[in-house]
Amino acid sequence: MKLSFLLPEEIQEKEQTVFQRIPTIINAGPASYSQTRIWVDEKAFELLPRYEELSVAVLRWLGAHVDNDVKIAHIIPILRYPSNLLRIERGVTTFGYVMLAPFEMTNEVTIGNHVRLSADAYIQCHTLEQRSLKLASVTVNHSCILMSYSNLLPGSTLHGRNQILPYTLVMKNDQLPFNTNWSGVPASQVI
């Protein structure tokens, strides 16, 4: 099995990428209209203060189901996820840059009440296996904590009050029992 993780430097480089004209080319436009729109939209949302209700209002306006008492540190990584597939329940707080792998199929991420997502927690609903795209929903039930750089693969379900320690990989279709702690690659229960 081959695993691939993004290093913190790669994530920072990816976030700081800006599409610009090459200095030697005169009278040329940006790389594309889409790239310009993405850049302008993200710059506009950078002005939103952290943990403000306005971020939640923007997500609701875009079609996401977001309950009350939700606090979002950085909205830009969440905006990259299709909002019609996003469901965030009451009391969820994100810290730092939480990444949801965007995909436009019918799978959804369900985040339950009072869940804490630390910096760079990563939730994805798709894998490529032997040249075949596999999709599955991810469910994080109430009162779970995903610490920094934890990764949930498609089909995984956290049944509630689970603590996923830093740099832990929850494998595809794993079902984590209620009130358990997990660590490692692949995730194993910590007693």
pLDDT in tens, 33-77: 455 555 556 666 666 667 777 788 888 887 788 888 888 887 777
**3-state DSSP assignment of residue 84:** helix
Mean pLDDT of residues grouped by 10 in the chain (191 residues)?
63 60 48 52 66 79 81 76 74 72 59 84 82 83 91 91 94 93 93 83
Alpha helices for the chain (secondary structure H): 8-15, 33-46, 53-61, 76-79
Provide the token pair at 149.
């750089």
**3-state DSSP assignment of residue 157:** strand
DSSP state of 171: P
Count of CB atoms situated within 10 Å of the CB of 184: 12
The torsion angle over the Cα atoms of residues 7, 161, 89 and 70, rounded to 10 degrees, is -60
- Domains of the chain by range and CATH? 52-190 (2.160.10.10)
**3-state DSSP assignment of residue 187:** coil
> Across 64-137, where does the E strand assignment appear?
65-66, 86-88, 93-94, 99-100, 109-111, 116-117, 122-123, 126-129, 132-135
Verdict on whether the full-model pTM lies above 0.75 = no
Per-residue model confidence (pLDDT) at position 90: 79
* CB contact burial 109-128 (16+ within 10 A = b; e otherwise): bbbbbbbbbbbbbbbbbbee
Per-residue model confidence (pLDDT) at position 117: 85
Provide the token pair at 104.
């436009």
Per-residue model confidence (pLDDT) at position 74: 77
**What is the rounded CA–CA span in Å between residue 28 and residue 17?**
19
State whether the Cα torsion 100-77-75-163 is positive or negative: positive
